Amino acid sequence: MGPMGIFGGTFDPIHFGHLRTAFEMLQALRFGEVRFMPCGSPPHRGTPVADAALRLRMVRVATEGQHGFVVDDRELQREGPSYSVDTLTALRSEYPLTPLALMIGMDAFLGLPKWYHWREILQLSHIVVAHRPGWRAPDMGPLGELLADRGTHRIGDLHQARSGHIYIHDVTQLEISSTEIRELVAAGRDPRFLMPDSVRAVIEESRCYGPTGGEASTPARNGDGDDVGDEAIRLKTS
């Protein structure tokens, strides 16, 4: 079996930016599977707006029927913050021989040095970074050094070793973010074509992002928690 891709996120809600990235990586990098792993209590940001059960339900309906897409709710079962290093340690002991590949967007990669025990991650898995609109790879600082040391352009390295490489992959750039979707829904607009209709139906039914959902209406959280490192470079804002 090919490497196991692990795609963690708040998925508040899941959208086509996530799904297309996961699908392209599954195919291009010849992963055996992509495991969607919604996080319970994200350590780097504020509390999610939709509750855990609802976010899990949206991930399930979004991925249903796609061969190779698997949903893993272990981070939602665990008490306390969801640290990637703990999840990867558990997966490594369950799958001792399978290459693991932590999949993250470039924005998340730039915040890596703030993650709990981040240097241990590469002992447990590879890191596969998806280019995201407006962000570019660091060439200086701890991440620039890490890329010089561990970066690879060979997909084969992700199959031959079980951990330790960083691979940056170009994916179709879809400038969609969960924050923007929540704001749009809260403003009474329709999120159609930004996500599968099955996810949109859950949002409509639950009113989890407002605008008439009472307490569940979206609090202003624009950019509150994406705590990126000093070398984060936002290239464009418009």
* Whole-Å CA distances, 179 to 18, 65, 156, 225: 13, 26, 35, 11
**Smallest separation, CB 178 to ligand ATP (Å):** 3
Q: What are phi and psi of 33, to 5 degrees?
A: -160, 160
Nearer to ligand ATP, 131 or 165 (CB): 131
Give the 3-state secondary structure of residue 124.
Answer: helix
Q: Which residue is nearest to ligand ATP (CB)?
A: 105
Nearer to ligand ATP, 82 or 179 (CB): 179
Could you list the residues that contact ligand ATP (CB under 6 A)?
A: 9-12, 17-18, 21, 104-105, 107-108, 130, 132, 174, 176-179, 226
Which of 108, 122, 141, 81 minimizes the C-alpha distance to 7? 108
The residues near 140 (Cβ < 8 Å, ≥ 6 apart) are 231
**Smallest separation, CB 28 to ligand ATP (Å):** 14
Nearer to ligand ATP, 99 or 105 (CB): 105
Nearer to ligand ATP, 96 or 220 (CB): 220
Angle between helices 52-63 and 197-206 (to 10 degrees): 150
